Amino acid sequence: MLTVDFDRLGVGPGAKVIDVGCGAGRHTFEAFRRGAEVVGFDQNAADLNAVDEMLQAMKKQGEVPASGAAEVVKGDALDLPFDDGTFDCVLASEILEHIPQDDVAISELVRVLKPGGALAITVPRWLPERICWALSDSYHANEGGHIRIYRADALRAKVCAHGLGWTHAHHAHALHAPYWWIKCLVGTENSSHPAVSSYHRLLVWDMMSRPWVTRTAEAALNPIIGKSVALYFRKPGAVDV
């Protein structure tokens, strides 16, 4: 399940990509699958070990073009261990809402981006997220949980203040918003509740089969209740991708 539009970013062979806060690695895998040189970056060693295992398996199974290269790096998003202008594309999907010093993190994302490079940031959208917060304290009031709710225009201004130009935005994962509202209503840890388990099966079916009915419904609902908002930026300068 991708939140970032890789076609819009133009990620392909020869592109140097970093997925900051890669988590389980979904965007790292996609960049690798497209033949990029990708770094999966996170502070969670267990997640990175699992991501690295999958990257190696993808390579062995021939799922990656010859140009593809990948590694995982453990570290802090507030102090990225890379030189200025290292990457053609920087991804930060669903991480800024967890970071108290988000301005510092944004500064680091911009710093390691090459002139002409693309930055994609995704965060939970204001309305679906606000409903989750209203329904459940446990949804966000936990260690490492969400500490803020962004409005897209405010986040865009934060990033543009670092010298980048905004290029595009879209919403994603509308079908996931009701799932989280249900979880918040019945208890975020109550995964066995019939409403939660039934809706989860629907989401798995959608992700595995991608039937036209759910794909059409989500496309129509994304502008209204899309769970995430994705913002795209470009750093001034020559495009190296």
Alpha carbon distance 235, 237 (integer Å): 6
Is residue 35 included in any domain, yes or no? yes
Q: Check whether 138 has a pLDDT greater than 90.
A: no
CATH number at residue 163: 3.40.50.150
Residue 237 in this model has a pLDDT that exceeds 90: no
Whole-number pLDDT of residue 240 = 44
The phi-psi region of residue 108 (left if phi > 0; otherwise alpha if psi is between -120 and 50; otherwise beta) is alpha
Average pLDDT over residues 131-136: 94
Percent of the chain past pLDDT 70, that is, above it, reads: 98
Is residue 1 very low, low, confident or very high in pLDDT (cuts 50, 70, 90)? confident
With the C-alpha atoms ordered 107, 112, 115, 116, is the resulting torsion angle positive or negative? negative
Q: Could you tell me if residue 193 is inside a domain?
A: no
Cα–Cα distance measured from residue 173 to residue 227, given in angstroms and rounded to the nearest whole number? 5
* pLDDT tens digits, 168-217: 999 999 999 999 999 999 998 888 999 999 999 999 999 999 999 999 99
Domain that holds residue 154: 6-125+147-173+228-234
Residue 167 phi/psi, 5-degree rounding, is -120, -30
| Overall pTM > 0.85 | yes
142 domain residue, yes or no: no
- pLDDT at position 239, please? 54
d(CA 2, CA 173): 9
CB 165 within 8 A of CB 233: yes
Our measurement of the distance from residue 124's CA atom to the centroid of its chain's CA atoms, rounded to an integer in Å, reads 10
Tell me the residue type at 93. S
**Is the pLDDT reported for residue 90 higher than 70?**
yes
Q: Within a domain: residue 136?
A: no
In a domain, 204, yes or no: no
The mean pLDDT value of the chain amounts to: 94
User: In this structure, what DSSP letter does residue 1 have?
Assistant: -
Element (H, E) at 152: helix 152-160
> Would you say residue 144 has pLDDT above 90?
no
Q: What is the 3-state secondary structure (H, E, C) of 10-74?
A: CCCCCCEEEEECCCCCHHHHHHHHCCCEEEEEECCHHHHHHHHHHHHHHHHCCCCCCCCEEEEEE
Q: Considering the domain boundaries, does residue 154 fall inside one?
A: yes
Each residue's pLDDT tens digit, 105-123 = 999 999 999 999 999 999 9
Task: Judge whether residue 142 has pLDDT over 80.
Answer: no
Which among 137, 114, 122, 138 is positioned nearest to 176, based on CA atoms? 122
Share of the chain above pLDDT 90, in %: 91
Determine, yes or no, domain membership for 167.
yes
Q: Is the pLDDT of residue 241 over 50?
A: no
Q: Residue type at 3?
A: T
Residue 92 bridge partners (DSSP)? 121
Taking the C-alpha atoms of residue 107 and residue 158, their distance in angstroms, rounded to an integer, is 10
- Per the structure, the count of domains in the chain is 1
Q: Is residue 84 part of a domain?
A: yes
